[in-house]
Amino acid sequence: MIQTPYYLIDKSKLLRNMEKIALLRERSGAKALLALKCFATWGVFDFMRDYMDGTTSSSLNEVRLGHERFGKETHAYSVAYADYEIDEVVSHADKIIFNSIGQLQRFEKQSAGIIRGLRLNPGVSSSTFDLADPARPFSRLGEWDVKQVEPVMDLISGFMIHNNCENGDFDLFDTMLGQIEEKFSPLLKKAEWVSLGGGIHFTGDAYPLERFAERLKRFAGDYGVQVYLEPGEASITRSTTLEVTVLDKLYNGKDLVVVDSSIEAHMLDLLIYRENAKVSPNQGPHRYMVCGKSCLAGDIFGEFDFPSELNVGDRISIQDAAGYTMVKKNWFNGVKMPAIAIRELDGSLRTVREFSYTDYEQSLS
């Protein structure tokens, strides 16, 4: 058995998402780019490459990783590029998308050799959490004034619009896309391509994929554009677990177990958004609060029900541990970094990366 903690990517579960993405591409004509800000574990890029069109990034490091490890189309986006990095960004990208007119004009000469785009902010989003809302008041994410964008249309050929966030509601997506069309129609008619970003949970079990495909196809036809999507969690949802082991048991008004992992170090997004982890099936007469081993008092995965009593040495599988986990893992408290393992389609397991004290030491100075 592999020593815990480790992230376990199951290719058979990943395949379900990939097949839905491939079907959507076929039915809608849209292209799909993996959003590296969500998932950048390149050990499965060779597997995903057959089902997707490339990658989209949020930084120099991500665009280089996408270019070197994934290949195919490589889109570069950043909230702001620095002078010292723009030339290298351009060298790795097929498209560069600027967040503002100021950045577009500042780097006009350096980016003249590749396709350019601009981010638009429609002022509406599906987010219910202010921290993640791209359309929040005073948002810095994209341009919103059509009159200011029109004079720079000769410098760009398309747009990126990212305003969905964990949106599994097709009707809400449809409504917001209609609002985007109403606001930005004069610009869309002059574009050659439009990325509608990520945050659309179209690989979910109940999502109306055919209606979604038809809506994307109609949008593309109405404006004569190539549509792009940038699925992050939709690409990898439910494909990965964080495997942990019980180290200790306590009782302090509730039954507690401490595991050899940490929510702050290994599933930070849950802590940021104050969400519980997932354990399946989460049924049974024995209820435990599952706690991380860091010194942070709130390092808690959540409370879950188990079919039998937990004891030291028992293993627990934390579900849905791919999106915004491995890309955010850190060395808080020096807690052992989870290894990364892959379950192949034939059921065999292999470890693709382990982390040592040297990795911890060299992450500092």
Q: What is the mean pLDDT of residues 41-67?
A: 98
Per residue in 7-21, pLDDT (tens digit) is 999 999 999 999 999
pLDDT > 90? residue 311: yes
The values of phi and psi at residue 171, to 5°, are -60, -40
CA angle 36, 41, 25 (to 5 degrees): 55
Binding residues for substrate: 233, 269
Mean pLDDT of 249-269: 98
pLDDT at 134 over 90: yes
Tokens for 65, please give them: 């990783």
CA dist 5 and 336 (Å) reads 8
Task: With cut-offs at 50, 70 and 90, classify the pLDDT of residue 304.
Answer: very high
Amino acid at 238: R
**CA atoms 71, 76, 81, 86: torsion sign:** positive
Omega cis (within 30) before 5: yes
| Mean pLDDT confidence for 31-48 | 98
Q: pLDDT by residue (tens digit) across 169-205?
A: 999 999 999 999 999 999 999 999 999 999 999 999 9
d(CA 206, CA 167): 13
Give binding residues as ranges.
233, 269
Residue 286: phi, psi to the nearest 5? -110, 110
CA torsion sign for 47, 50, 52, 55 is positive
In this prediction, residue 184 carries a pLDDT of: 98
Give the C-alpha separation, 330 to 332, whole Å. 6
Q: Is the predicted pLDDT of residue 287 greater than 90, yes or no?
A: yes
CATH class, domain 11-235, is alpha beta
Q: Do 128 and 146 contact (CB within 8 A), yes or no?
A: no
Q: Which residues contact 98 (CB under 8 A, 6 or more apart)?
A: 81, 104, 107, 116, 117, 118, 119, 156
Q: What is the pLDDT of residues 231-247, one digit of tens each?
A: 999 999 999 999 999 99
Contacts of 152 (CB under 8 A, 6+ apart): 101, 104, 105, 118
Task: Quote the tokens at residue 278.
Answer: 């997932």
Instruction: With a cut of 90, say whether residue 267 has pLDDT above it.
Output: yes
Give the Å distances, CA to CA, from 154 to 116, 252, 290.
10, 66, 56
Cα torsion through 299, 301, 305, 306, rounded to 10: -100
Torsion 196-200-205-208 (CA) sign: negative
Condensed to tens digits (0 to 9), the pLDDT of residues 331-351 reads 999 999 999 999 999 999 999
Structural Rg of the chain based on CA atoms: 22
What's the fold here for domain 240-321+329-363? Lyase, Ornithine Decarboxylase; Chain A, domain 1 (2.40.37)
Mean per-residue pLDDT, 76-88: 98
Q: Could you state, in order of their start, the residue ranges of all structural domains in the chain? A: 11-235, 240-321+329-363
Query: What percent of the chain is modeled with pLDDT above 90?
Result: 99
pLDDT in tens, 136-167: 999 999 999 999 999 999 999 999 999 999 99
Calculate the average pLDDT of the chain.
97
Q: CA–CA separation, 333 vs 293, rounded Å?
A: 9
Rounded-to-integer distance, Cα 10 and Cα 36, Å:
19
Amino acid found at 310: L
Yes or no: say if 167 and 196 are a contact pair by the CB < 8 Å rule.
no
Judge whether residue 1 has pLDDT over 90.
no
Looking at residue 364, its pLDDT comes to 94
